[in-house]
Structure formats: structure tokens, C-alpha cells
Amino acid sequence: MDKLNDSLKDIVEQITFNHTKQILGGSISVVFYDMTTLYFEASDEDDLRKTGFSKDGKHSKPQIFLGLLVGLGGYAIGYDIYEGNTYEGHTLIPFLENISKRFNLQQPIVVADSGLLSRKNIEALEENGYQYIIGARIKNESKSIKKKILKTTLKDGQLKSIKKSENTRIIIGYSDKRARKDARNRERGLKRLEKRIKSGKLTKSNINNRGYNKYLKLQGDVSIEIDYSKYEQDSQWDGLKGYITNSGLSKKQIMENYSNLWHIEKAFRMSKTDLRIRPIYHKLKHRIEAHICISFTAYTVYKELERILKKEKSNLSIERSKELTHNMYEITYTLPESKQTKSRLLRMDDEQAELYQIIQKTSWVSHK
């Protein structure tokens, strides 16, 4: 780990960017950005590791933020690391500007979830000439916008555009599947509240807008009850999803681009499990950076293997391929008389041979 230094990150990102650009047809017009927290199995802080808001509930542990940028299909572009007490909304523009400058990226359309939705972020994107698609929190919109949304009658898969300001609009989409999911979640939330009320553990402090607590009300001075009318009114939002944009893309293109955001969410889930990026046991800054650089490289290799398996129409899954490599061996030996060194693959089963041939074929074509 001590042999890896800051220069390696630049080399890895340059190779990754070039590869992603080639896969996507020579240009990158849309990028996807998100952040996650990475916590440490230690209680002490330093210049990089800070105690801050944790998305994983690890508030007592020092952490850092990892920002990740990918292209369509989840192919990696770059990443950056931030102090653990950084507000994630302040990372977007510096990160984009840095990537654009290094790779001569001509201001692509930026896609991000509602966690990065703030007036300052949107203003910064517009001031720097970026087009964007950001997940909207439609229930937090102005009364006039909410009225227009609820007046809209949409069927499954239909979309509507509502003007938000001179430069922006909200695209509203409706899905039957999402409506069923929203209804199930509300019902589960209601049942939990009813159970807590019966237990007598709820107090005035529980009456707030956090989650399903918004359905609670105070009856008299001490009695906590559920406001079932609020619960019923909330059903009118079931199935609705909003996207804020200043781009000239069609409604369908807006929704399709935003729907690709799941790739970056998958990248984070995978990096925390399959690639074991966390928990992190390193304490020194350069070792932490090296650890994340290795994980980023592993993610890039993972995506490439996923791509070539699909391209070759192999029945091998990425998970099965990973398992097969656990006992694939090559021996290197030196002939006693000629002193010539040779390598030989040990016998493989049919699945291992298929995987080996696919990788060999793709590596040769890429090298050529």
C-alpha cells in the first residue's frame, strides 16, 4: 500500500475514462453523479476522517465521503474523496469542473438524485453552463406547482411537463407499479404507528414530518392519535415521480436518462459488498486513498467482464465467473538443462475453459 501514491489515481482515471469513452461510441454526453459514506473501524479522527452525517447510521465512527461519476451503463469515469463532515451538495460543481478540465469533457448533461437538489446547487449548475436532470421532491414544491401536479391525470407510463421557472420544468411520470409500492409502504408505515400508539410510547416529540410521523396529531393535551384523513390524502401522490431539468430533451428522454441512475446506486452497493471497499481499517491518508483506488480499479474490471460476457452471449453470470477464477492456476517452471522458463495452465473444467477463452479473445482484440 505504501508504494501507491497520488499519481496512480490520475493514471487509473485516465485509462478508465478513455475506455469508457470508447465503449460509449467516442463521446460522453450524459454523466451520473452520486455520493456515499465510507466509515472506519476506529474511534479517532484526523484531517481526512471526520465524524459527520452517515447514510448508514454509523454516526459514531469517523468517515469519509466518496463521490463517483459514471457514464451510461454505469461505466466508470472518475471519483474523488472528501472529508467526512463535508456537505455533499458542495461537492458537485468542483468535482465536475475538475473532471471536465482533466479529460476535456464538454459539459455533459448531469444526472443526480434528489439528495443533491438544492437552490444553490441548481444555480451553480446553471451559472457554469451545465444542463441537468435531478430527481424532484414533488411534495416539497410550491402550492401552485403541487396543485398543477395533482390536477394531472396520467395513466401508466404517461408523462407531463410543468413549467417551474423561466429555465426549468418538472417532468411528472406515473407508474402503476410505483403506485402499488407507494401504497404498500404507506400501509406498513401506518401499521407501525398504530402498534406504537397501542404501546403508549409516543409523545409530543414524535409529532413531526419525519417519515410516517406526519400522520400523527395531538388530541387535547396528552393524547396522540393518527390523522387518518392525512393518510388518505397522501394516496393521491401514489405512483408519481418528478424530474427537474433545464435541458431541451424530450419528456421520454428525461425519464430514460434518469432511470439509468440505478447503475451508480448498483456500483455503490457492489463496491461495499463484492469489492469490500468497507469497512476501512487503514488510518494513514495515503493508504486510505490507495485502498479506494484499488476498489475503483476493481469496479472498472468488474464492469468490463460484465460487458464482454454479455457481448459473447455467454451463459456465465458475473458471480459464477468470479467463483470460477478461485481455482484457475498456472505454473511457471524452468527447464534444468536449457534454463528456459515456461508457463503452463493447469487443466480447467468446461466453464473455466469458456471463461478463459472469452477473456483471451477480448484481450487480444483490445490489444490489437
Residues 64 and 168 in one domain: yes
Tens digits of residue pLDDT in 286-310: 888 888 888 888 889 989 999 999 9
Q: Is residue 155 part of a domain?
A: yes
Asked if residue 164 belongs to a domain, the reply is yes
Residue pair 145/170 in contact (Cβ under 8 Å)? The answer is: yes
Per-residue pLDDT for 363 more than 90? no
How many C-beta atoms lie closer than 10 Å to residue 149's C-beta?
21
pLDDT at 49: 44
Look at residue 113 and give its three-state secondary structure: coil
Contact 141, 134 (CB under 8 A): no
269 has pLDDT over 50: yes
Q: Is 20 exposed, middle or buried (0-12, 13-18, 19+ CB in 10 A)?
A: buried
State the residue range of the domain holding 352: 312-367
What is the three-class DSSP state of 22?
helix
pLDDT of residue 59: 47
Lowest mean pLDDT of 33-37, 98-102, 128-132, name the range.
33-37
Q: Does 206 lie in the same domain as 112? A: no
Shared domain check, 200 and 258: no
Same domain membership, residue 152 and residue 105 = yes
Cα radius of gyration (the chain): 25
Do 317 and 219 belong together in one domain?
A: no
The predicted-structure confidence for 344-353, as pLDDT tens digits, reads as follows 989 999 999 9
Task: Specify the 3-state DSSP secondary structure of 23.
Answer: helix
Q: In what helix (H) or strand (E) does residue 161 lie, and over which residues does it extend?
A: strand 159-163
Q: How far is CA 333 from CA 158, 325, 340, 346, 360, in A?
A: 65, 21, 8, 13, 22
Mean pLDDT score, 211-218: 74
CATH of the domain at 53: 3.90.350.10
Measure Cα distances from 207 to 189, 196, 341 in Å: 14, 13, 75
Residues 61 and 115 reside in one and the same domain: yes
Query: Do residues 64 and 58 lie in contact, with contact meaning Cβ atoms separated by under 8 Å?
Result: no
Same-domain pairing of 328 and 274? no
**Residue-level pLDDT at 93:** 83
Question: Is the Cβ–Cβ distance between 310 and 84 less than 8 Å?
Answer: no
Using an 8 Å Cβ cutoff, are 267 and 70 in contact? yes
Residues 111 and 24 in one domain: yes
Q: Confidence class of residue 52 from pLDDT cuts 50, 70 and 90?
A: very low
Q: Is residue 42 part of a domain?
A: yes
Q: What does the pLDDT look like over 150-169, one tens digit per residue? A: 998 999 999 999 999 888 99
Pair 226, 244 in one domain: no
At residue 61 the predicted structure's pLDDT band, cuts being 50, 70 and 90, is: low
Could you give the residue ranges of the DSSP H alpha helices within the chain? 6-23, 92-103, 119-127, 143-151, 176-199, 228-233, 251-259, 262-273, 285-311, 318-324, 350-367
161, part of any domain = yes
CA dihedral (200, 204, 207, 211) in degrees, to 10, reads -60
Q: Is residue 296 part of a domain?
A: no
Residues 147 and 126 grouped into a single domain: yes
Closest CA to 39 of 284, 277, 291, 268: 277
Q: Are 152 and 106 found together in one domain?
A: yes
What's the pLDDT band for 97 if we cut at 50, 70, 90? confident
Distance of alpha carbon 124 from alpha carbon 246, whole angstroms: 13
- Cα separation, 19 vs 69, whole angstroms: 14
Q: What is the mean pLDDT of the segment spanning 232-260?
A: 93
- Across 32-36, 84-88, 297-301, least confident range: 84-88
Is 289 a member of any domain?
no
Both 277 and 159 in a single domain? yes
Residue 300 falls inside a structural domain:
no
Count Cβ atoms within 10 A of the Cβ of residue 8 and give its class: 0-12 exposed, 13-18 middle, 19 or more buried. Answer: middle
Checking if the pLDDT of 246 tops 90, the result is: yes
Supply the pLDDT for residue 324: 94
Number of domains, the chain: 3
Does 291 map to a domain?
A: no
| Cα(338)–Cα(256) distance, integer angstroms | 62
**In the predicted model, is pLDDT for residue 16 greater than 80?**
yes
